[in-house]
Homo-oligomer: A and B are copies of this chain.
Amino acid sequence: MLEKIDLSKTVDKERYKAVRDEVGARLGVLQRECKAAGIPVIIVFEGMGAAGKGIQINRLIQHLDPRGFSVYASSRPTEDEEMRPFLWRYWIKTPANGRIAIFDRSWYCRVQRDRFDGIIDEGDVAGAFQDILSFEKQLTDGGAVIIKLFLYISKEEQKKRFKKLEESKEASWRVSESDWKRNEHYDDYLQINEEMLERTDTHEAPWTIIEATDKNYAAMKVLTTVTDRLEYELAKRREEAAGKKKTAASIPNERYKNGVLSGVDLTKSLTREEYKEKLDKLQKQLEILHSEIYRLRIPVVIGFEGWDAGGKGGAIKRLTSHLDPRGYQVNPTAAPNDIEKVHHYLWRFWNNVPKAGHIAIFDRTWYGRVMVERIEGFCTEADWKRAYQEINEMEAHMANAGAIILKFWLHIDKDEQERRFKERLEDPAKQWKITDEDWRNREKWDQYEEAVNEMLVRTSTTYAPWIVVEGNSKYYARVKVLETVVDAMEEKIKEVKRKKKGKG
């Protein structure tokens, strides 16, 4: 979830203050409403050291009635806590109905710091995740709202902040040896955090990543995340009480408006000559890798999503043109047929899971659930909200069985799409590619962009990453797709050979 995050995000002071005042006032009202409705609220602050958890908690509580919340800072367990099961110290701090409990670090230390420091055996990590998931599910099933925030800064930013703290007489004690150790091994520690986020980003209690380089930006995002979520949960409960079936509370959610896609550099391009040369080389590599993949029995899943006319077809063509047709299959995904319609939405994709040693290419994928089905209302809100976790679980299962999984988002901008649509209309050989639906989808560009941004963050995992492909230049896009596939195959082949050697 972290690699799709743009840490350079900032906000200017004027806008920050305006949002703070307006949204902050809303939050005060929501706190009273939650109190009246008897909803216990739990807000978890986790993140990298010196990411500013203390500051952010402080800013957040400015908007809250102090009689209604408690802040708990986790430090080393006390003697009393050491003598009880790990979750005890958190269970007893769960808030009463109508109250807010804010945790500065939490039960996640178990699968984060304790894991990094080797305090917990690797063999016990799976059990600890299970305990955490059960704990949160019990609380949300009991009516609680859990908001989990992960404050994220880069290695360099962290180093800078540690140094600044050390230089200050009053604050130097705040930086410990273990802080520096975690900075030194930043990537390892980040990997542990990434796994934590992936395994605990549930439907009931999702994570939100807070870009924390700019403190004002972070404060704004914390505030709007908490506020949006409480509004959503209150609306959901109101609808449920009124006996409505769909909980389609359409809350203004700005969080994913300026997301991953807005940071994509669409000027990237290649000349025809560069393209020809690279393509030729890559296709030959791919041919060799394909046979090795087959020999080593590695299954490969490659998904293509992207804007209409984003270049999926062209990329798939270049990807497959030199492959042995007995070793791959392209699965086009249209609207589900009658048989597919009466099965679980993931069933038709399970049917096309590749055999070990084979490549399955999907032209559009299971991600339709969180894009078109979400936007067109083909499923309920509960359905698509649950789907992020379901999809991650499916991909994890395949990855655990040894599969390479890559997902490409072919990205173009709105002008480029219009140009391509018109070009197609003018070319008799391509007219069939353009339908009325394409124009209708285009009108919903902003809605789709929001959905895609959320999808990219919530389903890009270490074992099944999303690759956003800068697609205004078709040459550039195709080469990037092929390069990514080649790299991933080379890496996996190395890994498999290493393991075989280890065993043999």
Contact = CB atoms under 8 A, between A and B. Distances in A.
Interface of A: 38, 40, 80, 82-88, 91-92, 94, 96-98, 123, 126-127, 130-131, 134, 138-139, 141-142, 144, 240-241, 243-245, 297, 299, 339, 342-347, 350-351, 353-357, 386, 390, 393, 397-398, 400-401, 403
Contact of A85 (B80, B84, B401): B401
A339 B134 CA distance: 24
A141 B92 contact: no
Nearest to A391: B138
5 contacts: A85-B397, A85-B401, A88-B350, A91-B346, A138-B390
B401 A84 contact: yes
Contacts of A138: 344, 346, 390, 393
B339 A96 contact: yes
B98 A342 contact: yes
Contacts of A356: 82-84
Contact of A243 (B92, B245, B386): B245
Given A40-B344, A97-B343, A131-B397, 15 more contacts: A38-B342, A84-B356, A85-B403, A92-B351, A94-B343, A94-B347, A96-B339, A96-B342, A96-B343, A123-B123, A127-B400, A138-B346, A139-B344, A243-B243, A243-B245
B386 A141 contact: yes
Nearest to A340: B96
A343 B138 CA distance: 12
A206 to B, nearest CB: 16
A240 B380 CA distance: 15
A191 to B, nearest CB: 18
Contacts of A84: 299, 353-356, 401
A81 to B, nearest CB: 10
A215 to B, nearest CB: 35
A356 B77 CA distance: 14
Interface of A is mostly: loop
Contacts of A397: 85-87, 131, 134
Nearest to A91: B350
Chain A to chain B: the 9 pairs with minimum beta-carbon distance, closest first: A243-B243, A85-B401, A91-B350, A83-B356, A126-B126, A97-B342, A83-B355, A96-B342, A134-B393
A40 B344 CA distance: 9
A362 B97 CA distance: 25
Contacts of A94: 343-344, 347
Nearest to A339: B96
* Centre residue among A82, A141, A144 by max chain B CB count within 10 A: A141
Nearest to A131: B397
Nearest to A297: B83
Contacts of A390: 134, 138, 141
A92 to B, nearest CB: 5
A497 to B, nearest CB: 19
A458 to B, nearest CB: 16
Contact of A357 (B83, B130, B351, B357): B83
Given A97-B343, A346-B138, A85 B398 contact: yes
A243 B239 CA distance: 10
A75 B86 CA distance: 42
A19 B60 CA distance: 64
A139 B355 CA distance: 23
A266 to B, nearest CB: 36
A350 B135 CA distance: 12
Contacts of A357: 83
B240 A91 contact: no
A61 B283 CA distance: 55
A115 to B, nearest CB: 15
A91 B126 contact: no
A219 B98 CA distance: 50
Contacts of A38: 342
Contacts of A88: 350, 353
A144 B87 contact: no
A113 to B, nearest CB: 19
Contacts of A403: 85
B91 A347 contact: yes
A96 B243 CA distance: 28
A120 to B, nearest CB: 12
A86 B401 contact: yes
Given A243-B243, A243-B245, A142 B85 contact: no
